[in-house]
Structure 1
């Protein structure tokens, strides 16, 4: 009797839920749950939170609080649930459970948390079924969505996430959509981007140079006809424009490369489904799950030799980036054309992608033959995300649409709100408050005003949406980075973080590591605390600080950035000026390099030799990335690089298939209390093997095995000396699939625990998150 009376006793509670709980169907879920449990009360968006006031039996209230966590919608991410007393006496008995109007300003104990908006969600299976159902009123409607899918981050202008603060506010719902929006039994109950052909956005078509425009289905058919006839179409996607063409047509792909000023960097290819993807590349279970996941990233796979694609889609590379359709418009294009499509960023060279219709027509006038746009405004630009599978687990290469701006945790909470402005290349920024970090989407390389404007525009947008007003700005040590220069203009306290400490901290932080670890930072270039350029470093670190234990041998970069663009010049830097540990070895390298030197312009060789001898414009670098470039040149793989990492990618492709290659000779020296990998013995052996006509692919594989073996040896000794077994692997060179998997296997076999970046890119796209993690830990120490 006493238990029965307790269960029947009426209990009232106020529940505040923080996290990604807006734009994911959380209010409809709570509404149905409240009705199912027989509760009285309401649910609403309250600033960046969802707030519930409910009353009912003690048993029903216990079940409510439990099921909020266990039964939440699939895209919801609950970070905090606070239960307290309601205002006044709570909901009136018999009043029922309702969704009520949102409150713009949160009035809760969780209002110091950032407001969170979910990323854009790929079209769900139910909406795809409607899209191709002739009997459905949304048949072939390119903007079909529901509470489980559709645009989110790209259309929102603030919180709470209601239609009135999105770019859908201009589209008044028709009677049928209104009925669905208000029907608790409908999957579009409170779906803020709800639309249909009668009341929602509409496609537009404009031929290049033309002034007239078609709308709706005729616009789509005009684009399909042009693509079928070998044209290039600028398509307005979810987060910005994409340039689309037939991926099997050699002539149109070559024309796109010339117009886009992208001579060699591979293009992504969009296919209709996993079956179509399997015809172009082997797709294992992990890759299939990643391709079909809600974020719909471009997934890097090994292309089939007999793939039926234009050769210029991936010139000189065996890696193919595939993606499945992320939006209804993509589904329609692939259905009507029935062929794989190149789907690349809607920009020229290194510009940010176009998002505005007039901007696209202006900037892409010389690239696209027609423009398939629409009248739904994109509030924030989001390029496609890029991912791969490493050791069976997803790992991001570029974090953008579908992933950003989903929150990440900080293992040590930031005591003050902060902004980390990242590096120069593959730029991102991070806003952090408390234990929550929000990494902005990939911006691109901060090399021109348009990209800087894209960065500052998106920073303003995400600051407004999240409500994070930074009291501290965190930046790289390099004074020449535009991100560092931007930090100097912000009137708050500034914290500088060394580039490679940020790299390894990004890996440690996402795995929740707060103690000491070994950090292996293999990268292109970053300014070290000794004034030289680093990039091949082993650190003993925690989130607060680091100590350099080991490095690669230095070599000059003849002409600075020119050596990055021309691997042959980097090879000359090693031949003429590698850090000396054995004079005899250097002399032998010069004699063996005769065939390499003979194929280069004599004036270039003589000029570089003089520059190195005089130390003129030859900054010293201990860089793993530059060593890979030099080896690629010595092995006749690449003398020039059309994009960052091209030479290393080609070297990796050449090594593919040569499993079990034995490491080349390598040597460790000691200098200034640091262990130093001297690459000269390795380079000597490569040159000798070339002289003896060894297979170049086998030599490329052996070089990868050498770097892996040397790294495992250094880490094993350091782990034994310093009493830590955790090894965080990060930096742009760690995007090399062959190397990273060899390192994981070797370190694991040595009894160590290797960790790699998964949610955050290992390249410079992860720097801002690493900066935020380091600064948060340092600020906690005062």
Structure 2
């Protein structure tokens, strides 16, 4: 007989880990205990050497499906004999903490949900040790019922028996409940509750109404995705004229009917995280055009909460759609609503009925949005199902840091040693409500992770609300340049600490020279960067309007390329009138609401305007997306440099310049010659990729650095990403890209936290 202490680190709380250990140990004839220690699970296993070894093998080879094992350590102990194997009370100890994200309803619970003989038949909050809410209901660690919002609902006798019986699926399942003792659904402002409320909601959807539905991490706005008038009305009410809406489909069969996708996408759709996955629409599908107008893709998710399943399928005789729009329940720019008070004050004007419930949400968690690239996940928005799983690095960093992130698509990051905890998606910080949500979320996450940051890192922009928030925290503060933070985030995700050539392409960011950056080639390591190259600067005229009206950028670049003929060319191509061109030119000359910019995002907007694809945008990235879709209609085979381009890069004052002015001129010539705009859109991508690769090759030859990192929101464009990555690799360079951390501003908090301040 021997006794061994085994500590298991990782996502081992909220995933049925202790019941799993208890069952395995009992089957092997072991005695001892298992307990949560806050930062790990500790097992005392007593029995034969063979049985103890078998338990360790089980931990390594077949742990609970939703767990994530980071590390297992063990040591021999001298302890008196145990009589049995038990789950003992949790004890709180300091150390690395791994918080489980919220977990989609599992297949076994789904089966019970629709089993008329089961006592949880049609229970909107059914869960077990393998599924259910986690992060959003958690008040503190360790993860026990008394430290969650489920403490508001005392267990009935039957649930308590399951909770304490090792033979059941709900042994030690913290959110366990049933129709008798669990939370309750209801319609706000009505006496309808439970079954009556769900039936009324289903009837309203089929009558073409818009519904607000409270889920796991916040409210959704919902309507029939096959009802064109309902979807158009939702767009009008939410002032969202063109931005794609996410769709929740009843099951994988409905997804196959509407979209084309492969094994990787299906695994994401059906996995326990259940993100929104971007899929190619079928022309034969039944979703109405207004779901994703002029867009060949649609964001699809499957039901992940029991209440979602019941909206699709309920024993009430209502003939229900299998396709629902499920878009975030919020005012534009504000955080997702999480309480009845939020919903009534902010989104009641967008909907005809609000279906809510009385389980409190402590931390907002919007839906994760996922694309795929080269057979791997390529995340767009990292939130439910993924946050706050940490990014782990091999760096031997000490201390704790709070990184505030960017102004758009905000997430923040808490670093504890070499673990980097990226938060759920918070939102755009222009709205004071989102700033308040950031403040609340930072406070709660610090408490949950037992973090006491010793310093704070933020962006350099002097007018960002995130910067003002960071400055008010009374901690030592460091400001990190926006595009450098992008590259650092890519390095951190890939656990790479050596020098890289960073290609950082996005909308705009405040540069160290006081101008607007956005198309940057940086030589980076964790301690700093050198600006080696950029897109050739152009004038960005019109302030905030210039980020929405790509024709302004097109006019300025075309004017720079054609000189005195600039106004004539712009009017001929329909970019702008001669009068508009003259006004922009005067503003640029006199520096009235005009700044020098190297923004790659604005360059794409300009190309879209020149080609007559989108003159302006109603949402961020609309013109750039339309340009990509046009290019993808043309041949997908990459082609070489076009003859009209005399050269791709030049140098000015020691900095490599991408000749993007000549690139826009080439598009203007093509349009004047009547060339196919889809072919020109593809040529734009290919030539920009060639420029980028040539610049990287030059920097590599000068510095000896042979690793490139690609980051920034422009690299959500998978056509450009593929072109640049493949061509760099053909030159023998290693390329780092993102996967589970967004390339856009939703990932820069990780980069800020990864910055190594040696001062």
Q: Name the residue aligned to 2:312.
A: 334
Conserved? CA contact 1:661–1:698, under 8 Å? no
Stretch deviating more after TM superposition (732-741 or 174-183): 174-183
- Structure 2 distance, partners of 1:710, 1:588, is 26
Alignment of 1:764-779 (within 5 A): 764-774=745-755, 777-778=756-757
Conserved? CA contact 2:567–2:582, under 8 Å? no
1:594 pairs, out of 546, 558, 571, with: 571
Q: Name the residue aligned to 1:426.
A: 409
Conserved? CA contact 2:659–2:691, under 8 Å? no
Stretch deviating more after TM superposition (234-243 or 606-615): 606-615
- Structure 1 distance, partners of 2:351, 2:327, is 12
Q: 1:591 offset after TM fit, Å?
A: 4.5
Q: 1:599 offset after TM fit, Å?
A: 6.0
Q: Which runs of 5+ in 2 are unaligned?
A: 315-319
Conserved? CA contact 1:423–1:483, under 8 Å? yes
Alignment of 1:29-428 (within 5 A): 29-84=20-75, 89-90=78-79, 92-103=80-91, 105-106=92-93, 111-113=94-96, 115-206=97-188, 211-335=189-313, 337-428=320-411
Q: Name the residue aligned to 1:506.
A: 489
1:253 partner SS:
helix
1:239 partner SS:
coil
1:604 equivalent to 2:580? Answer yes
Conserved? CA contact 1:589–1:684, under 8 Å? no
1:441 pairs, out of 424, 428, 446, with: 424
Q: Name the residue aligned to 2:734.
A: 753
Q: 1:629 offset after TM fit, Å?
A: 0.7
- Structure 1 distance, partners of 2:542, 2:662, is 25
Q: Name the residue aligned to 1:7.
A: none
Conserved? CA contact 2:348–2:354, under 8 Å? no
Distance change >3 Å, CA 698–CA 46, structure 1 → 2: same
Alpha-carbon deviations, 1:76-102, whole Å to 9, x = none? Answer: 22334343465xx52x32511100111
Q: 1:135 offset after TM fit, Å?
A: 1.8
Q: 1:315 offset after TM fit, Å?
A: 1.8
Conserved? CA contact 1:410–1:773, under 8 Å? no
Q: 1:219 offset after TM fit, Å?
A: 0.8
1:539 equivalent to 2:522? Answer yes
1:566 equivalent to 2:561? Answer no
1:738 pairs, out of 703, 707, 719, with: 719
Conserved? CA contact 2:575–2:610, under 8 Å? no
Q: Which runs of 5+ in 1 are unaligned?
A: 1-9
Q: 1:130 offset after TM fit, Å?
A: 1.0
2:178 partner SS:
coil
Q: Name the residue aligned to 1:6.
A: none
Q: 1:588 offset after TM fit, Å?
A: 5.6
Conserved? CA contact 1:411–1:514, under 8 Å? no
Alignment of 1:675-694 (within 5 A): 675-694=656-675
- Structure 1 distance, partners of 2:346, 2:651, is 54
- Structure 1 distance, partners of 2:705, 2:588, is 40
Conserved? CA contact 1:396–1:759, under 8 Å? yes
Conserved? CA contact 2:555–2:575, under 8 Å? no
- Structure 2 distance, partners of 1:744, 1:322, is 27
Alpha-carbon deviations, 1:305-334, whole Å to 9, x = none? Answer: 333222111122222111111111112222
- Structure 2 distance, partners of 1:535, 1:411, is 30
Q: 1:650 offset after TM fit, Å?
A: 1.0
1:615 equivalent to 2:591? Answer yes
- Structure 1 distance, partners of 2:707, 2:715, is 17
- Structure 1 distance, partners of 2:312, 2:563, is 57
2:372 partner SS:
strand
Q: Name the residue aligned to 2:317.
A: none
Aligned pair count reads 749
1:432 partner SS:
strand
Q: 1:545 offset after TM fit, Å?
A: 2.0
Alignment of 1:488-503 (within 5 A): 488-503=471-486
1:624 equivalent to 2:600? Answer yes
Alpha-carbon deviations, 1:428-447, whole Å to 9, x = none? Answer: 00001011111011111000
Q: 1:71 offset after TM fit, Å?
A: 2.7
Conserved? CA contact 2:567–2:578, under 8 Å? no
Q: 1:369 offset after TM fit, Å?
A: 0.4
- Structure 2 distance, partners of 1:324, 1:382, is 17
Alignment of 1:593-742 (within 5 A): 593-596=570-573, 600=576, 603-659=579-635, 660=637, 662=639, 663-664=641-642, 665=645, 666-742=647-723
Q: Name the residue aligned to 1:23.
A: 14
Conserved? CA contact 2:336–2:366, under 8 Å? yes
Alpha-carbon deviations, 1:131-167, whole Å to 9, x = none? Answer: 1222221121111111111111111110110011111
Conserved? CA contact 2:222–2:326, under 8 Å? yes
Q: TM-score, normalised by structure 2?
A: 0.96
- Structure 1 distance, partners of 2:175, 2:563, is 66
Q: TM-score, normalised by structure 1?
A: 0.93
Conserved? CA contact 1:735–1:763, under 8 Å? yes
Distance change >3 Å, CA 681–CA 753, structure 1 → 2: same
- Structure 2 distance, partners of 1:233, 1:682, is 47
- Structure 2 distance, partners of 1:196, 1:252, is 34
Q: 1:625 offset after TM fit, Å?
A: 0.8
Conserved? CA contact 1:414–1:432, under 8 Å? no
- Structure 1 distance, partners of 2:575, 2:421, is 50
- Structure 1 distance, partners of 2:321, 2:544, is 44
Alignment of 1:443-458 (within 5 A): 443-458=426-441
Q: 1:634 offset after TM fit, Å?
A: 1.1
Conserved? CA contact 1:413–1:436, under 8 Å? no
1:234 partner SS:
strand
Distance change >3 Å, CA 590–CA 604, structure 1 → 2: closer
2:136 partner SS:
coil
- Structure 1 distance, partners of 2:120, 2:357, is 17
1:557 partner SS:
strand
Distance change >3 Å, CA 41–CA 408, structure 1 → 2: same
- Structure 2 distance, partners of 1:75, 1:722, is 45
Conserved? CA contact 1:261–1:348, under 8 Å? no
Q: Name the residue aligned to 2:449.
A: 466
Alpha-carbon deviations, 1:352-411, whole Å to 9, x = none? Answer: 111102321222121110011111111111000001001111011000111111111134
Stretch deviating more after TM superposition (30-39 or 400-409): 30-39
- Structure 1 distance, partners of 2:527, 2:12, is 32
Alignment of 1:521-540 (within 5 A): 521-540=504-523
Q: Name the residue aligned to 1:4.
A: none
1:343 partner SS:
strand
- Structure 2 distance, partners of 1:40, 1:135, is 36
